[in-house]
Amino acid sequence: MIVQGRGRFGPFVKHGSVYANVPRTEDPATVTLERAIELIEAKLAGARQNVLKEFEGSVVQVLDGRYGPYITDGNKNANLPKDTKAEDLTLERALALLAEAPERKGKSKGRGAAAKAAPKKAAAKKAAPRKATAKKAAAKKSARK
């Protein structure tokens, strides 16, 4: 099912979870089913262009990213070492790099309350010693003559 809509970035067509923008030169009201399919396929072709290597029987992929090639399994990302080429990478080495990679930063999505860190408690403040209040000197009576 292909859905057409107007979003905050302009008109779009949607198929599943893939959104494709309708060009500004086209009238969104005149987009046909065939044109919508072309836009979706063009969007998917652009995403497929970033895949450098796929491993059969596994979800692990080597992708060309903004900051260079990286390995992903859909949940975790690992940088590809600079001396390694994507074509020479084996599945075992890719899985080892993913295991060594640090956990994702940011919000945890759907991992439950157990994954959240306990809030830090503020250090107990020491009671400040009370200062002795100085007594006011009695006002001098002026003698008038």
pLDDT band at residue 96 under the 50/70/90 scheme: very high
Label residue 118 by pLDDT band (50, 70, 90): low
Q: Are 27 and 18 in contact (CB under 8 A)?
A: no
Extract the runs of DSSP E, i.e. beta strands, from the chain.
2-7, 10-15, 18-21, 51-54, 61-65, 68-72, 77-79
Q: Which residue has the higher pLDDT, 4 or 129?
A: 4
Which residues make Cβ contacts (< 8 Å) with residue 22, sequence separation at least 6? 4, 10, 11, 12, 13, 28, 31, 39
> d(Cα 67, Cα 46) in Å, to the nearest integer?
17
Q: Enumerate the H helices of the chain as residue ranges.
A: 33-48, 91-100
Whether 54 and 73 have beta carbons less than 8 Å apart is answered as no
Tokens 């009370």 identify what position?
A: 130
- Whether the per-residue pLDDT at 114 is higher than 60: the answer is no
28: which residues sit within 8 A by CB, 6+ positions away? 4, 6, 11, 22
Say what the pLDDT of residue 142 is: 67
CA 55 to CA 93: how far, in whole Å?
12
Can you give the residue ranges of every domain in the chain? 1-49, 51-102
